[in-house]
Homo-oligomer: A and B are copies of this chain.
Amino acid sequence: MVSRSGRSPSVTLADVASHAQVSLATASRVINGSTRQVQPDLRDRVLASSRLLGYVVDEQAQSMARGASQTVALVVGDIADPYFSAIAAGVSAAASRLRLTVIITTTGPGGLAEHEAVAALRPKRPLAILLAASRHLDSAGEELLLEELAGYEARGGRVSFIGADTGGSAARVVRVQNRAGARELARSLIHLGYTRFSILGGPSDLATARARVDGFAEGLASGGIAASSVEIVHGPLTRDGGHAAVLELQGLNHPGACVFAVTDVMAVGAMTALISQGRMPGRDIAVAGFDDIPLLQDVRPALTTVALPLFDIGVQALELALADPSPDSSSPEADDVRGVVRLRESTPPL
């Protein structure tokens, strides 16, 4: 039984070695298993001593000596957001399969900018940085981010983006077909008979949000809906953002009215707002979202959306970042992730 009094200094490999009466080198070889063999008797002695002393390897020292870390970093907007947490779960699962540790940083609303998050991560020397936080298009921040990433990559760090691309970085991208998905959604909605659209567009400077808005607008245009008739409201990409934004919309009384929120999280907030106003989604007004976050299973009316394999996207982001540097020709980009339109109760055929 270990005494539970004052913090005893850690047991080091050297302690184990001397207790086992072998050299440090031998102890190291036994404990971490190098290419070199160690005689059974010595090896047993080392193992025994290690167990007896309660030795725990110091990974910091190990990665220093080896010059390679076992950590990957994930940058998300808000870990409590179902979109990000689904991705994080994928990353986490993939990482644990590869025996990697994942450190999660939140940029949060009003928190760190993405380039600050990356700057804070660099000193930890992660193997890879995965950027899931929706990047702002703000050009200054963008510039700084690219600068940080360039420095990081120049030192051998791997980077992968989720969602939109960023020109000018060697980073790999899990490219999500936001634009195409939104376009298809728009077409489907027109096909159902909707004629009057409003968009909860999220922050106007967010790449992903913009791609979805643009795609949706394209789809509408291709279906003969005049852009001028489409109302767009911008606001935070959160549940409360959706809740608030939908209340600013004007043309909801129109018979063929349909609200598209660029994110399920917003759509869900919007539906609740509408209900509390006495308009039932799927009856008095149509609502559609994007992402197909897991919680949609339990929200009613069931929300029409564009389904994204969020968990897999997380897995892919990690694998992509760690993939071998492309054998020249084929760029290390995963196949694009396509969204599939799921029509549900919130947008019944008219």
Contact = CB atoms under 8 A, between A and B. Distances in A.
Interface of A: 2-4, 7-10, 54, 56-64, 69, 71, 78-80, 82, 85-86, 88-89, 92-93, 96, 101-106, 108, 111-112, 122-125, 150-151, 153-156, 170, 239, 268-269, 271-272, 275, 294-295, 297-300, 311
Contact of A78 (B89, B105, B151, B299): B89
Contact of A59 (B96, B123, B151, B269): B123
Contacts of A69: 60
Contact of A57 (B60, B112, B123, B239): B123
Copy tally for this chain in the complex stands at 2
Given A124-B101, A125-B59, A7 B106 contact: no
Contact of A239 (B63, B122, B124, B297): B297
B79 A79 contact: yes
6 contacts: A2-B151, A3-B154, A60-B60, A78-B89, A93-B108, A96-B112
B300 A275 contact: yes
Contact of A8 (B88, B93, B154, B271): B154
A105 to B, nearest CB: 8
Given A60-B69, A92-B106, A82 B295 contact: yes
A317 to B, nearest CB: 15
Contacts of A104: 88, 92, 102-104
Contacts of A62: 123
A7 B82 contact: no
Contacts of A63: 60
A167 to B, nearest CB: 13
Nearest to A153: B4
- Interface pairs A-B: 3 shortest CB-CB: A7-B156, A80-B89, A59-B123
A88 B79 contact: yes
A246 B62 CA distance: 50
Interface centre among A9, A112, A123 (most CB of B within 10 A): A123
B60 A239 contact: no
B101 A106 contact: no
Nearest to A111: B96
A61 B239 CA distance: 42
A7 B64 CA distance: 17
A301 to B, nearest CB: 9
Contacts of A105: 92, 96, 101
A150 B2 contact: yes
A3 B154 CA distance: 8
A154 B82 contact: no
Given A56-B151, A80-B294, 9 more contacts: A2-B151, A56-B155, A61-B64, A71-B103, A80-B85, A82-B85, A82-B295, A103-B104, A104-B104
A321 to B, nearest CB: 15
Contacts of A297: 239, 269, 272
